[in-house]
């Protein structure tokens, strides 16, 4: 049995089923210090470098950036002009993968080339996502989508969980707006989510899933907020006007979020479940 056949038993599906579609990139010409700031802000291990047409030029890692910053320091302690990010790329042609490639084959490429991620490109060689070792590990650890609904029904948030900034529902379009400062795991995949609602308590339950999950909703990040288009969900449960704001609690390393009506402990919850 070949290595690919062995891996295939554990990794079913294609790259597009697992890849992250929200990719932090750096455009050719960007100074290394700016890329370093980007990595620090979002806790990134690597950044994909693209040109102005989103064609992949290569990938730079934390180690590449640190090495570049160290070499830019003069002996007397003054900084020399910073290098540009494309100067950090050592390979002439980047290793990439298509979204339709079997996941097992992509994992084999990662392992044999000893690299941390693969930029995913379409037929026009344009960047459409990235597949990392972390994505594959999470796929293997969280491959029970069928138990999702049961997990929501059995879930009970911790009473002592800390809350930060409130979430809310936009009245004009039904979007759920969740400040990113509530997300504990900055590397968590939040590209898609499914929603649940508990009428007796007024809680909204959110689970982050892969794109292939039933009822998965594509999310987006805007102005340091996670936006979940939830118009149908909000209408179905008549949530507009019921609650002004929700406390947000993060559970299981940002795999679940629970939105609880503010001041629920004082009895406001009961009003949420009535019509």
Q: What is the CATH number of domain 3-141?
A: 3.10.580.10
> For residue 196, which of 188, 205, 187, 207 has the smallest C-alpha distance?
205
Site of tokens 């929603």: 195
Percent above pLDDT 90 for the chain: 34
Residues of the chain within CATH 2.40.330 domain(s) are 145-272
Considering only residues 271 and 62, tell me which one the structure prediction assigns the higher pLDDT. Answer: 62
Average pLDDT over residues 55-72: 87
* Model pLDDT, residue 155: 46
Please provide the CATH number assigned to the domain covering 145-272. Answer: 2.40.330
Query: Mean per-residue pLDDT for 5-32?
Result: 83
pLDDT of residue 96: 95
pTM, entire model: 0.54
Strand 25-27 vs strand 46-50: parallel, antiparallel, or unpaired?
parallel
* Position 159 pLDDT exceeds 60: no
Angle between helices 32-42 and 62-71 (to 10 degrees): 140
Query: What is the signed CA dihedral for 230, 231, 232, 234, rounded to 10 degrees?
Result: 80
Whole-number Å distance between alpha carbons of 105 and 10: 12
> Element (H or E) spanning 268, and its range?
helix 268-272
pLDDT at residue 99 is higher than 70: yes
- Residue 85 near residue 64 (C-beta atoms within 8 A): no
Q: Give the residue, 231 or 160, on which the prediction is more confident.
A: 231
Q: Where in the chain is the domain with CATH 3.10.580.10?
A: 3-141
Q: What is the average pLDDT score of the chain?
A: 81
pLDDT recorded at residue 254: 79
Name the more confident of 223 and 150: 223
């Amino acid at each position: 049995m070949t290595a690919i056949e062995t891996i295939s038993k554990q990794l079913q599906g294609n790259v597009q089923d697992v890849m992250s579609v929200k990719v932090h990139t750096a455009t050719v010409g960007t100074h290394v210090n700016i890329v370093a700031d980007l990595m620090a802000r979002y806790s990134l291990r690597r950044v994909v470098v693209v040109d102005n047409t989103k064609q992949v030029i290569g990938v730079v890692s934390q180690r590449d950036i640190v090495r570049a910053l160290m070499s830019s320091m003069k002996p007397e302690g003054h900084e020399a002009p910073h290098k540009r990010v494309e100067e950090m790329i050592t390979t002439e042609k980047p290793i990439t993968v298509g979204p339709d490639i079997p996941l097992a084959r992509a994992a084999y490429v990662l392992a044999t080339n000893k690299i941390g991620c693969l930029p995913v490109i379409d037929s026009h060689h344009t960047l459409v996502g990235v597949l990392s070792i972390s994505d594959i590990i999470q796929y293997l650890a969280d491959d029970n989508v069928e138990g999702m609904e049961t997990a929501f029904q059995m879930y009970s948030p911790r009473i002592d969980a800390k809350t930060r900034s409130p979430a809310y529902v936009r009245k004009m379009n039904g979007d759920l707006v969740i400040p990113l400062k509530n997300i504990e795991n900055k590397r968590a995949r939040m590209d898609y989510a499914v929603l649940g609602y508990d009428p007796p308590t007024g809680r909204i339950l959110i689970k982050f899933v892969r794109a292939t999950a039933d009822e998965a909703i594509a999310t987006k990040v805007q102005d340091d907020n996670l936006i979940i288009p939830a118009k149908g969900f909000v209408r179905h449960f008549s949530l507009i006007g019921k609650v002004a704001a929700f406390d947000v609690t993060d559970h299981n390393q940002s795999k679940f979020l629970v939105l609880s009506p503010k001041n629920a402990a004082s009895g406001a919850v009961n009003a949420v479940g009535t019509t």
